[in-house]
Amino acid sequence: MLKQITKGEWVVVEFLGFNENETELFYVSTEKSPLERNLYSVNIETGKKVLLTTEKGYHSAMLSDSKNYILDQYSSTEFPNVINLNDSKGKKVRELVNAENPLKEVSMPEMQMFTIKAADGKTDLYGRVIKPLNFDKTKKYPAILYVYGGPHAQLVDNTWLGGASLWDYYMAQKGYVVITMDNRGSANRGFEFESVIHRNCGEVEALDQMEAVKYLKSLGYVDEKRIGVHGWSYGGFMSINLMTTYPDVFKTGVAGGPVIDWKYYEVMYGERYMDTPQENPDGYNKSSLLNKAKNLKGELLIIHGYIDDTVLLQNSLSFLQQCIKDGILIDYFLYPQHQHNVRGMDRIHLMKTITKYFDDNL
The answer to whether residue 233 is catalytic is: yes
* Backbone angles phi and psi of 359, in degrees to 5: -60, -40
**Torsion sign across C-alpha atoms 204, 210, 214, 216:** positive
- Angle, vertex CA 168, rays to CA 167 and CA 170, nearest 5: 60
* Catalytic residue selected from 60, 340, 346, 359: 340
Bridge partners, 111 (sequence order): 130
* Catalytic residue selected from 29, 233, 239, 318: 233
Locate all alpha helices (DSSP H) within the chain, ordered by sequence: 166-173, 191-195, 203-218, 234-245, 267-274, 281-287, 314-326, 346-361
* Catalytic residue selected from 29, 230, 308, 338: 308
Q: What share of the chain is helix, strand, coil (3-state, %, to 5)?
A: 25, 30, 45
Nearest in space to 217 (alpha carbons), one of 209, 110, 360: 209
CA–CA dist 267, 22 (Å, integer): 40
CA–CA dist 175, 140 (Å, integer): 10
Active-site annotation, residues: 233, 308, 340
